[in-house]
A and B are shown apart, each in its own frame.
Chain A
């Protein structure tokens, strides 16, 4: 059976590759070191496939038909989408997909109460381009991208996100294969694209949220990390942390190791990452 060797979550804000030079040097160093520590742990787990979960920034989900989750089933992916290339300041890249696992996730999740959409034609923006740049810069680890709705109501509730993560991990572990699989959630932390706090970061919220994950208390997360609380910390952006809750569910509610946190007004985002250290 397949093995889940890593469950991580990390920020994907475009400024990390697009205009990092505008941040103070100390912040640049902290951020580079933080992503490097994430990459080091990730490589040490030797994943052979990444199952990613990230907000769809309304690049693929048309407003007339928005699923909670959509699994990318293509054998090959290409990014970044053309209009976003300048923005993320990254060259075009190809990354393999994994149709067999992707289709299995769709089929098996359906039997466990999750009606997942699927697509061979997802476009990528910062959601995958930025984290892959730092974790697998050669783009040589196949990716099953799962886009999710974090930004158009009704949103999947936190409890539903954690439950999906649990189901996702069950489905992966039941795959008759000896493959080593990593689960990578991307998004967050506090930011407010399109709102009044566009040029601000809610450091207090971010540190509170990271501390909750470090405690490994899923019931408290469910009680306190409400959609309303996330919206209060940055309307359209902070709710991307719903993807992190999927990862929390996949990690079985284990306590996470906070790896880095940099509140960056220059990048207009609370930047951070955690590792659930599932192999330990």
Chain B
């Protein structure tokens, strides 16, 4: 976890980088995440973590820290992102108080 542990070469980092810059990819992130992850060549582990918004696991895999709250915003909207917002609460639940990784999918 943390910027020093970022894996620059991780396919998931490229996917998130590009999704934030492209409205078409953002629509696909919500409607066809599995297809998008296949196109970007994510590993099974990356796919499982991203599908479940398992932010802690994504960080452990080498996703850049900046992308973790952004993944929460991609799933739950970036608008009015105060500490009680859906996106901030998703971050809190997945990152700070994880109740065990979701093994499904």
Chain A contacts to B: CB under 8 angstroms: 14-15, 18-19, 22, 57-59, 62-64, 66, 81-84, 86-87, 89, 123, 151-153, 193-196, 198-199, 231, 235-236, 239, 265-266, 268
Contact = CB atoms under 8 A, between A and B. Distances in A.
B2 A59 contact: no
A19 B65 CA distance: 22
Interface in B8-59: 8-9, 13-14, 17, 20-21, 23, 26, 59
A231 B91 CA distance: 20
B21 A81 contact: yes
Contacts, number: 105
B96 A196 contact: yes
20 contacts: A19-B81, A63-B13, A63-B14, A64-B8, A83-B23, A83-B26, A84-B78, A86-B77, A86-B78, A87-B73, A87-B79, A151-B3, A151-B64, A151-B65, A194-B65, A194-B69, A195-B2, A198-B96, A199-B88, A231-B3
Contacts of B82: 15, 18-19, 22, 266
Contact of B83 (A86, A123, A199): A199
- Chain A CB within 10 Å — which of B6, B14, B95 has the most? B6
Contacts of A86: 77-80
A236 B80 contact: no
Contacts of A123: 21
Contact of A198 (B1, B6, B9, B69): B69
- Please provide the 4 A-B residue pairs with the shortest distance between their CB atoms, ordered closest to farther: A194-B65, A19-B82, A236-B65, A87-B78
A194 B67 contact: yes
A58 B71 CA distance: 14
Interface in B49-105: 59, 64-69, 73, 77-85, 88, 91-92, 95-96
B52 to A, nearest CB: 17
Contacts of A19: 80-82, 85
Contacts of A199: 83, 88, 92, 96
Contacts of A58: 17, 64, 66-67
